[in-house]
Structure 1
Amino acid sequence: MPAVAARLPGDRLHLQHGPIDLVIGADGPGREAAFAAAARRFAPLLDELVAELPLLRSPAGGVRPVGPVAIRMADAVQTHCRRHFVTPMAAVAGAVADEVLASMVASGGLMRAYVNDGGDIAIHLAPGQAYRSGVAGLDATALGAVTIRAGDGIGGIATSGRGGRSQSFGIADSVTVLAATAAAADAAATLVANSVDLPGHPAVSRTPARLLQPDSDLGDRPVTVSVGPLSSDETAAALERGLAEARAMQAAGLIAGAALFLRGATRVLAPVPKTEALCHA
């Protein structure tokens, strides 16, 4: 079926094709031109990705893809592949959002714009502009707020964790990451969520990814399917493992900040220098 476009309340644009579902907002005199540019760029995206799907489901660091979205995906995970198993699919939602946003910005006349791909969001802010959004868990539970201002160096927000659209090696309820691009945030959120873990804990049930999803890019690697009771100390230990990974990414300049959530407990890694970007509810 072809891609479809529709207007939503609040004069937002909805684009959908197969598993890709975007909600887009824009402010400025170039809004209508930007919406048209987004629709044009979106139409062939799924076919472009499908053409390289076997490569994109392979571990990062191998043959380089050729499509623009696929290249964004590969670039986002390349910096992590020496320390983690990761495939370009870890950044697919963020890379799609970045690509569509880039087409909108190129059309000109925008003060502020965003492309939300299932909770992974690419953001454009002209000088003096700001973007504020709630931080929600993968079950839509409100967890806090994000405020990003032009000049913060943050162009993407992404959330990952157990129970989301993708499988996870970890036990985090959710992890939200801020980064320079949505693709970078998407990849990092996946890996930080994987790191929120208690390896070998008897309350954590896992099964090979392929048994849950035959075409999973994770193959036979065990992914989390359920988490039983945890003590407060165990919850804290799992979060600290994830926080250590987030700190390493921040120190390497790969992310701006992160918020990690598990069983009602939270760890926040504030951007440096500290801004209003991450605020716990």
Structure 2
Amino acid sequence: MNGPAVTWLADRRRLHMNHGPIDLIVEAFGAEVERQAAYTQAANRFGTVLEELVTELPLLRQPVSEASRTLRFSTARRMEEAARSHAPTFVTPMAAVAGGVADEMLTALVAGRRLRRAYVNNGGDVALYLAPGEHMDAAIAGTGHGFADHLAISAEDSVRGIATSGWRGRSHSLGIADAVTVLAENAAQADVAATLIANVVDLPGHPGIARVPASQIDPDSDLGDRLVTQDVGPFSDVEVAAALERGLATANAMAERGLIHSAALFLRGESRICGPLAAAGGSAYKLSWRTVCHV
């Protein structure tokens, strides 16, 4: 595996950072001297993030409990904290790895800088920074579910993280959701919640769902021998509704506990929404697989 690489994108306003499975798009807004200093800070921090995670992988692949564990590095501690908030539900800190890295890199980017706003996009899981009075528009790739195509997040909102999970995503899922997008107070929390909600959008025992043990695909998987979804067949409208309602109940419970701000769940052209997004009737949002933040 090659070492960490940091390069400018063609617009010379965004950095692309890549190291093994970590693939980031980073952008900061503000005075040029502040932006350049922020980018330097982020590039310096990026050099050891993956190495630190590898060092702590044995513990990060173990399920959390309500008791805290000692982890050496800050990214791992972010992941642990986000996962542990859902104990005793089975989950490991690896469910927060993409969001945790995004949060860690955003912290490095903005530390001591006078920026108006900034984001770190880690494969669609996004950490946001907003100075007072600022806002960020998140343009979400279309899903055909009939939502508008922008999500405006202001500094006054509690949302600083966006994440999406589903059975077609980069990580394995226990469920059948096409996508579950979560808004939360940071990207690590959004990442864990999206994973767990997507896991329960499901039809247990349905003959049209192909599953295999996670360990059969990846012997080192944190999911062990738990069955992960590999393919899904046709479902009736009643079955789609039942699967979505299972996920919605979990999302609503998380929102009531303050673990998430909102969530949007998608399956076979149908959707369910919880939190403030539901109050908007879906008319102001279009939530899907990949998020690209812009001015």
Q: TM-score interval w.r.t. the shorter chain?
A: over 0.9
Give the corresponding residue for 1:117: 122
- 8 Å Cα contact 1:147/1:277 also seen in 2: no
Give the corresponding residue for 2:110: 105
Partners of 2:113 and 2:9 in 1: how far apart?
22
Match of 1:55 among 54, 59, 62: 59
Partners of 1:145 and 1:161 in 2: how far apart?
21
- 8 Å Cα contact 2:161/2:186 also seen in 1: yes
Q: Structure 1, unaligned stretches of length 5 or more?
A: none
Give the corresponding residue for 2:79: 73
C-alpha displacement of 1:182: 0.3
Deviation track 1:4-55 (CA, whole Å, cap 9, x = no partner) reads 1111133101111111010011101211111111101111000000001111
- Asked if residue 266 in structure 1 is aligned to residue 268 in structure 2, the reply is no
Alignment map for 1:149-164 (pairs within 5 Å)? 149-164=154-169
Give the corresponding residue for 2:48: 44
TM-score by structure 1 length? Answer: 0.94
State the percentage of identical aligned residues.
53
Give the corresponding residue for 2:205: 200
- 8 Å Cα contact 1:33/1:107 also seen in 2: no
Partners of 2:29 and 2:59 in 1: how far apart?
37
Q: What amino acid sits opposite 2:56 in the alignment?
A: E
Partners of 1:234 and 1:121 in 2: how far apart?
32
Q: Alpha carbon RMSD of aligned pairs, Å?
A: 2.2
TM-score by structure 2 length? Answer: 0.89
Q: Structure 2, unaligned stretches of length 5 or more?
A: 288-295
- Asked if residue 226 in structure 1 is aligned to residue 231 in structure 2, the reply is yes
Partners of 1:140 and 1:8 in 2: how far apart?
29
- 8 Å Cα contact 1:94/1:121 also seen in 2: yes
Match of 2:262 among 257, 261, 270: 257
Q: What amino acid sits opposite 1:8 in the alignment?
A: L
Q: What amino acid sits opposite 2:90 in the alignment?
A: F
Paired residue total: 279
Partners of 1:153 and 1:72 in 2: how far apart?
18
Alignment map for 1:103-182 (pairs within 5 Å)? 103-136=108-141, 144-182=149-187
Partners of 1:273 and 1:196 in 2: how far apart?
18
Give the corresponding residue for 2:292: none
- 8 Å Cα contact 1:127/1:150 also seen in 2: yes
- Asked if residue 5 in structure 1 is aligned to residue 6 in structure 2, the reply is yes
Q: Secondary structure at the match of 2:42?
A: helix
C-alpha displacement of 1:105: 1.5
**Change over 3 Å in CA distance of 1:3–1:31 after alignment to 2:** same
**Change over 3 Å in CA distance of 1:196–1:273 after alignment to 2:** closer
C-alpha displacement of 1:64: 2.8
Match of 1:88 among 85, 90, 93: 93
